[in-house]
Amino acid sequence: MVPDQNLKERLSEGFSGDILTDVMLRDHTSLRIGGKADYLFIPSDPVSLLRLIDALSGEGIGYVLIGGGTNILVTDDGLEDVVINMKAFQSLERVGDRGADSGDSGDDVRVFAQAGLPLQRLVSFCREGGLSGIEGLVGIPGTVGGAVFGNAGSYGYEIMDVVQKVTALRGGSIVVLDREDINPTYRSGGFSPDTVILGVHMLLKRDDKGTLQDRMNEFLQMKKKTQPLGERSAGCIFKNPPAESAARLIDEAGYKGMRIGDIEISTLHANFFINKGQGSAGDFLALMDAVIEGIGRMFGIILEPEIGVIGKR
């Protein structure tokens, strides 16, 4: 698919937001890797998003959602699908401190965050407000929507532990999913692939600000010592196998520092792949395949990717 003015006009009918054409997706991902997308839409409101998805369905055109561009690898040949960026959806508010009359305890606080909000803005909001429940997520990049869809977690915390309701697009309608209707698992929020998360209501707990800040600072310092936070990466590449650590397996296999082209396995954390220069998706995938094959051969364990690979292959 190439940009076409008539198609652009049909897709933009009733749409509010920005429309970009001939976009290099390496400029929109944390890895700084990725080929071209013919269209990138940035809807400004849920109705525009819903109309765009309906229009794409009518044209028989697929779409891919991105937020912060983390935890994904875009292939070198780019995408035929339309890319939708959710970055305009950044509302964040405290929606109620509710007590026994609602079934909540006196320490319960409800917070609403839209899907495009950077996750670390939510973490900072909770730190400054003395709200506990997601402090283990400090230092994790990306957006709230991506974190919820993938059930991001660290240090024994997972974001779905505090999610109470999810507002989403599904089947051409805006729906509200209650927590009991969602079945999250490790690194999965439990949503169907066609679910587009718009926002989430979370139930947090009041906590002493000093204690909370100390806990977050401790987690962040641990991450800085053990993860290449300042490098161009997509976060952890592989899910941890049951009762095992992907990083430990890769380290024990002697793969730290292994490199294909400009893609290198971090010497600080073996489950991070770093783009050291002009890295390509082809080299990234080749390194992933080499690690999967080697770990399978040495340990009889098949590593499963945690990152999403999107685009033409």
d(CA 143, CA 90) in angstroms, rounded, equals 9
- Distance (Å, rounded) from C-alpha 42 to C-alpha 116? 11
Residue 119 token pair: 């996750």
Among candidate residues 187, 206, 232, 259, the one labeled active-site is 187
121 assigned to active site? no
115-138 residues labelled b (16+ CB within 10 A) or e (exposed): bbbbbbebbebbbebbbbbbbbbb
Phi, psi dihedrals of residue 104, rounded to the nearest 5°: -85, 160
Residues 204, 149: Cα–Cα separation, whole Å: 19
Angle at 260 between CA 242 and CA 232, to 5 degrees: 70
Known active-site residue 236: yes
Residue 306 among the catalytic residues: yes
Q: Checking phi first, is residue 54 left (phi over 0); if not, alpha (psi -120 to 50) or beta?
A: alpha
Map tokens 């940035």 to a residue: 42
Catalytic residue among 135, 158, 264, 306: 306
Q: Among the options 51, 158, 236, 264, which is catalytic?
A: 236
- CA dihedral sign, ordered 233, 235, 239, 241: positive
Q: Are 117 and 144 in contact (CB under 8 A)?
A: yes
* Residues identified as active-site: 187, 236, 306
